[in-house]
């Protein structure tokens, strides 16, 4: 099974090489850490000696989720060396800022040769994986190396659940390599057991994404607060983690909000940095007044859209919001974390596609702490909230 999987993975990589080359050479994606992904170990990691705890967090959301866990591991095991891997560039940047550049590297591609090289270099006794990253070769090599493998914040999305159930006979062999699953909810635990995890290896431990602290107020947040107050901008609407297909809907809603509140300022933060330029073109084509955060000089702004073409600032910027929209939810992307605006006590609007955070959104909805809307109801809901002081 593992041989056929590796052959299939290699074939996908080969056939998709024109696409990957385009992404690397012209879009700049995947360029960073490319050698590390193929198992070439930087000298700093070859010379550091054994890293007894290896934590893997795919991207920004997972890095945020495991931050408190890593702090606790460091406190409880101060004599144990700990390293962190990520898959995305944005996750790498955030992790390096939080845990130190010399502790962070890119997760290897799921080939036996690249994975074995990292395990040979780090020799971890414990591997902690955030969410449900089920890479067959990685898990097998980890188990054979003698490391305990713990999947924390484990969940099975609605979309994955259907496919996993069909491949249960294969998944059972892969899941045998995991020492324990710490599931977000009882439903996730039941799904893990249903797709092949041993019942005695599954625990319900809750959602790590609740274990977050209010983010520090960044200088850009204070600059924007001063600039919006000087311009008497109101309301401030922060639309975060937006994905393709959502910006047009949000711009349409913004036009209607602007008609009712001419001094409205929208902060629009696309989820992926590689989309900053395409969203800027979309804004330019719309004829709307807009600025780029990267070029904004700090002057007063209102009655337009500020494109947040930066990373790592959104959580703090939610503190400026009179109303927040959390993206990935108007289209079928599963939604993103609503806790970032919630920590600031901000009214929150999301679309109907929030499968990745279904328990969290359901709990907020039961307490009237989030509005779930469809695209054609977006502007009406936003206007209703902005007109309702309570």
Q: Which of 179, 55, 57, 44 is closest to 121 using CA atoms?
A: 44
Question: Which residue in the list 52, 62, 246, 274 is annotated as catalytic?
Answer: 62
Q: Which of 167, 326, 348, 300 is closest to 246 using CA atoms?
A: 326
DSSP state of 351: -
H or E segment and range at residue 98: helix 89-99
Q: Which of 264, 301, 293, 286 is closest to 383 using CA atoms?
A: 264
DSSP state of 109: P
Beta bridge partners of 148: 126
Report d(CA 369, CA 361) in Å as an integer: 9
Place of tokens 């002081």: 389
Collapse the DSSP code of 87 into the 3-class scheme (helix H, G, I; strand E, B; otherwise coil) and give the result: coil
Report d(CA 280, CA 30) in Å as an integer: 22
The Cα-based distances of 92 to 61, 66, 86, 101, 326 in angstroms read 12, 14, 6, 9, 22
Q: Which of 162, 151, 163 is closest to 189 using CA atoms?
A: 151
Report d(CA 360, CA 211) in Å as an integer: 13
Assess whether 62 carries a catalytic annotation. yes
Q: 37 and 111 in contact (C-beta within 8 Å)? A: no
Q: Which of 214, 188, 243 is closest to 359 using CA atoms?
A: 188
- The secondary structure of 186-255 as a DSSP string is HHHHHHHHHTT--GGGEEE---GGGS--PPPPPHHHHHHHHHHHHTT---EEEEEEE-TTTHHHHHHHHH
Q: 273 and 90 in contact (C-beta within 8 Å)? A: yes
What residues contact residue 114 under an 8 Å CB cut-off, 6+ apart? 37, 38, 39, 108
> How is residue 297 written in tokens?
């000089």
Catalytic residues: 62
């Amino acid at each position: 099974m593992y041989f056929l999987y590796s052959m299939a993975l290699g074939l996908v990589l080969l056939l998709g090489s024109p696409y990957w080359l385009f992404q690397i050479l012209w879009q700049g994606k995947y360029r960073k850490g490319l050698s590390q992904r193929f198992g070439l170990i930087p000298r700093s990691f070859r010379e550091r000696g054994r890293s007894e705890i290896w934590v893997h967090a795919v991207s920004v959301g997972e890095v945020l989720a495991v931050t408190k866990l890593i702090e606790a591991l460091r406190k409880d095991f101060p004599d144990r060396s700990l390293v962190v891997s990520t898959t995305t560039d944005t996750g790498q940047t955030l992790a390096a800022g939080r845990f130190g550049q010399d502790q962070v590297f890119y997760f290897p591609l799921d080939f036996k040769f690249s994975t074995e090289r990292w395990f040979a270099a780090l020799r971890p006794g414990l591997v902690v994986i955030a969410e449900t990253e089920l890479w067959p070769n990685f898990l097998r090599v980890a188990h054979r190396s003698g490391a305990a493998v713990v999947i924390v914040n484990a969940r099975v999305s609605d979309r994955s659940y259907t496919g996993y159930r069909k491949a249960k006979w294969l998944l059972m062999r892969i899941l045998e390599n995991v020492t324990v699953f710490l599931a977000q909810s009882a439903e996730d635990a039941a799904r893990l057991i249903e797709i092949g995890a041993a019942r005695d290896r599954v625990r319900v431990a809750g959602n790590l994404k609740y274990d977050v602290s209010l983010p520090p107020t960044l200088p850009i947040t204070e600059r924007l607060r001063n600039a919006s107050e000087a311009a008497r901008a109101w309301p401030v609407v922060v639309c975060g983690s937006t994905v393709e297909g959502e910006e047009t809907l949000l711009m349409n809603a913004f036009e209607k909000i602007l008609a009712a509140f001419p001094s409205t300022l929208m902060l629009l933060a696309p989820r992926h940095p590689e989309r900053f330029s395409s969203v800027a073109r979309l804004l330019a084509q719309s004829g709307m007044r807009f600025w780029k955060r990267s070029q904004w000089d700090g002057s007063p702004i209102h009655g337009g859209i500020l494109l947040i073409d930066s990373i790592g600032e959104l959580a703090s910027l939610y503190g400026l919001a009179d109303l927040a929209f959390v993206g990935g939810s108007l289209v079928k992307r599963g939604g993103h974390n609503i806790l970032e605006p919630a920590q600031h006590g901000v009214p929150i609007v999301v679309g109907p596609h929030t499968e990745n955070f279904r328990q969290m959104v359901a709990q907020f909805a039961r307490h009237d702490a989030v509005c779930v809307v469809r695209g054609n109801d977006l502007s009406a809901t936003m206007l209703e909230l902005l007109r309702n002081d309570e």
